[in-house]
Structure 1
Amino acid sequence: MHMTAKNLIDPFSLDSTLEVASLELRFVNHQPYYWVNREKLFNAQTGAEKGEITEEEARKIAKTYIKGDYEIESTEYLTETGSHHEYRGRPLPAWAIHFNHPEKLTAYIDIEETTIPKGKYAFFTIPRQEEWTLILNKNWEQHLADDYYQADDVIRIEVTAEKEMPLTERLTYTIEDKGEGSGAIRMSWEKLSISLPFKTD
């Protein structure tokens, strides 16, 4: 679950006036960007500074979260969150993409995509009435949650559970191909389904 890029420029040649305190390589719609000081994006191949993720980009990314051909009903640009938002305690600004779905599904898109090295991971879920926490943990050999330590989490994200789905009689995990290197790990049981989106190179 990782992406690679070629022909990257030297990040320290981006802006002679920029004092680099932190530097990360991020991907937006499969394009590599340097995320400098956790506040500025630069194209890692051209050096051009990029603004925040656009609404169009956020809508495209959100489509990888939701199974089915549900239409996007509306978008919302968040600089702060209220009690009605499921997106709390996470990086801002962000986009909230609302789908025309019986369960009023919403995907939240921010700049901080996580790169996951190739390997084996334990997969945990924390179910709640509407929102579930999905966790990938480095200790893949642990027995249930007896040896679980949060410090070993690779990612921990919040997703909205999809309800009233076609009946799945057994707990089932599937890998969905969304095209263009995108996909989702989907867990289904009875009439409930959750998915963890990902991108590959």
Structure 2
Amino acid sequence: MTKRKIVQLNRKWHRYLGVILGIQFLLWTLGGLYFSWTNIHEIRGDHLKKNIIIPKPKENLVSPHVFLKSDFKATDSIISLELTTVLNRPVYRVFYTRNGEKKVVLYNADTGNTRPHLTEKEAIKTAMNGLAVNAGVTAVEYLKKAGKHHEYRGRPLPAYAVTFAEPANTTVYVSPEFGNIQTFRSNKWRVFDFLWMLHTMDYAERDNFNNLLLRAFALFGLFTILSGFSLYIFTSRIFAKKTSK
């Protein structure tokens, strides 16, 4: 193949790949600008989260041995047990597996009785207690399922989505089963999540950084860069002078 044909073929591939990849490079750049110019703590809603102080446990709390002995089977596997608070009351949160399924149960630390799941009113109160600013509730939704593109994806279900007005302007997700706030979601986070999907090119689940489409575009991008270098070499005067000599 002659030098002229190589240059023509390179220019053709470089031009078409440049148009296709240029769109994705623009999206990557826009995403990178947003990621680098925004405060990640504000995106996560850390500035809206109230620092909850867990009180020191009282001496007369029920021993976990009481309910561990009576409520769990020999085949159950206890993953963890923690002392926490739910609506300012001491509670034991027990994570365990039964028949290969991971479960969680709450116990009233004062009585040793099972603590029921949070009601809607309790979930709203939990969300309000965890919010660092005063804001009114605009909507409450009970989620039984969340799709792959939902902002609450990959977290415990069911859950209450408690949406607050300004100045919070955010949705607080509360797990009735866990008895706590799972996450905060604001408009800044939603923009971040959308740009992250464009950045990873995972249009199915948004979080897979090893998908085939991203790998293909990375390889095509490398090929486009190399073809640009080769065009410079083949068409530069310096290279032409050296070959003529």
**TM-score, scaled to structure 1:** 0.49
Query: Taking CA–CA contacts closer than 8 Å with sequence separation of 6 or more, which of the two structures ends up with the larger relative contact order?
Result: 2
Instruction: Pick the structure with more helix per residue.
Output: 2
Larger radius of gyration: 2
Instruction: Pick the structure with more strand per residue.
Output: 1
**TM-score, scaled to structure 2:** 0.41
